[in-house]
Chain A
Amino acid sequence: MQKVDVKPSTFEELALPLLPALYNVARWLTRSGNDAEDLVQETFVKALAGFTGFEQGTNFKAWIFRILRNTYLTSRSGLAARRTVALEDELDDRGDVSLLDGAIDRQTPELNLLRLADQAAVAEAMEKLPPPLLEVVLMCDVEEMKYKEIAAVLEVPIGTVMSRIARARAYLRRLLEEDQRQPKGWNA
């Protein structure tokens, strides 16, 4: 790893700017304000306790998000999510995720574009995403983390990150298509 000579930073300087992001992700994952606060607080406590072991110059954001995620996974809601969602992270020979078959509709791009502009429908679809898929799109699209950073948080190979993102977006698209088929709105 490349040595980076940085001035020692305090925990406040590093962690407080990330509080909004941590809370937002925690709120999405737990789907409860109180649980999100508990999760972030526990994350901060663990991060503070382990801060002496954090290597200056490395990616603090990935480090503290990993703590958040591990804390979430050992929480009651996290354990429930892991029990109910099976993740298939293997890509097929073409680099596609096998479960995506049928989810991609190449015939109606115009309709899809219109549908994706419906913010309320997207928000509703996000709420239906299983937590393991939701967390990866939040890190990628909201936190704008690189695949390498996400891989560090999830402690999985980059290929797994790629397939999980593809799976998450395919899931979203499928939910949006189902929503579109409902007899309402402009498609009725």
Chain B
Amino acid sequence: MNEHLSAATLNALVDGQLASEELRAAKGHLDCCSSCTSEALEYALLKNSVSRNGQRYSVPAEFEMKMRSLIANASVLPAIRSGTVQRGDAPRRAAFAGWAVAAAMLLAVGGVVVLEQHMRHSEVATTQSASLASEILDQHVATLANSQPPQVVSSDRHTVKPWFQGRIPFSFNLPEALPQDTKLDGANLVYLDGRPAAQLLYSIGKHRVSVFVEERTGTEILSKTLREREGYHLVSFNMGALDAIAISDVDPAKLAELVRVIEQVQNGSR
């Protein structure tokens, strides 16, 4: 019996890549060699299996749109649109066109990438912001509905502030002088997005106010579109290393006044 077919020949056979003479010789061998025939069949099955498994990934729709946009932007350039191939009679123009295309491409792609990143960041920030606003609204409404007193009941800031020692990983100041009709009712330890926060409870007249204080996360606290939710006003403000959000259905001007004094005492300007 002839020597067995080599692995390279068997693979070329199943890939249909043997020249006619090589193919004739290989077929002649297979006619009398069951071992190589089995081998060839196995390679064919493997090829078929790899072919099926290999088509695993499909292009994400967003990415396809992005590539279409990329090409469309670049295609305003005549050379790319027409596929015109530059010839040797105008080498300078060709070189210039090449650089122009490259520069335009860099600008176009740079713009697309920057815009894309900006949009992604904006989307993430908006989602986080909306989620936080919902959580705060839920907490505030739950506090209003709760018949139980706050975890610490006191109008004395020197009682409320120390109560948080060891309960939250930060400290904060509370204003001594409050706007007219405003008083401190107490506070709760709450969790916002899994992070510990202080919920300060105030009353302005008969309206209740919650002021949530947490460590700064570095992202925008509340976007402009989230300052009104379900009839409640939300005001976010920054206090150095802390973020704060006040929520109430009181007159926005009165809420803003309370926010201002809290902000001032925390930032040391009062």
Q: Which residues of A are interface residues toward B (Cβ below 8 A)?
A: 8-12, 14-16, 19-20, 23-24, 27-28, 33, 36-37, 40-41, 44-45, 48-49, 51-56, 91, 94-97, 100, 104, 106, 109, 112-113, 116-117, 119, 122-123, 126, 137-138, 140-142, 144, 146-147, 162-163, 165-166, 169-170, 172-173
Contacts and interface: CB of A to CB of B under 8 A. Distances in A.
B35 A106 contact: yes
B98 A94 contact: no
Contacts of A162: 8, 11-12, 17
Given A94-B3, A106-B39, A169 B59 contact: no
Interface stretch (B79-87, B140-148, B261-269): B79-87
A49 B101 contact: yes
- Pairs of residues from A and B, 8 with the lowest C-beta to C-beta distance, nearest first: A109-B38, A142-B54, A95-B6, A27-B57, A8-B83, A166-B7, A141-B50, A123-B53
Interface of B: 3-4, 6-12, 15, 17, 35, 38-39, 41-43, 45-47, 49-60, 63-64, 66-68, 70-72, 74-75, 79-86, 94, 97-98, 101-102, 105, 109
A66 B232 CA distance: 60
Contacts of A24: 54-58
Given A48-B105, A116-B49, A96 B6 contact: yes
Nearest to A101: B7
Contacts of B56: 24, 27-28, 123
Given A44-B71, A142-B55, A166 B11 contact: yes
B67 A40 contact: yes
A48 B129 CA distance: 39
B54 A137 contact: yes
Contacts of A23: 57-59, 63
Given A10-B75, A113-B45, A45 B70 contact: yes
Contacts of A53: 85-86, 98
Contacts of B15: 140, 147, 165
A146 B66 CA distance: 31
A1 B15 CA distance: 25
Given A100-B7, A173-B42, 5 more contacts: A11-B74, A11-B83, A56-B85, A106-B4, A169-B11
Given A44-B70, A53-B86, A141 B54 contact: yes
Residue among B43, B49, B51 with the highest chain A CB neighbour number at 10 A: B49
Nearest to A166: B7
26 contacts: A8-B84, A10-B75, A11-B75, A12-B72, A12-B75, A16-B67, A19-B64, A20-B58, A24-B54, A24-B56, A37-B60, A41-B66, A41-B70, A48-B74, A49-B101, A51-B83, A51-B101, A95-B8, A100-B7, A106-B39, A113-B38, A117-B49, A140-B47, A142-B54, A169-B11, A170-B7
A41 B67 CA distance: 7
Given A109-B39, A137-B54, A163-B8, A11 B71 contact: yes
A31 B6 CA distance: 32
Given A94-B3, A96-B6, A109-B38, A49 B105 contact: yes
Contact of B80 (A40, A51, A94, A96): A51
Given A28-B54, A106-B35, A123-B53, A8 B41 contact: no
A147 B67 contact: no
A44 B69 CA distance: 11
A45 B113 CA distance: 12
Nearest to A158: B17
B49 A122 contact: yes
A51 B79 contact: yes
Contacts of A19: 59, 64, 67
Given A122-B49, A169-B43, A10 B60 contact: no
Contacts of B81: 10-11
A109 B216 CA distance: 66
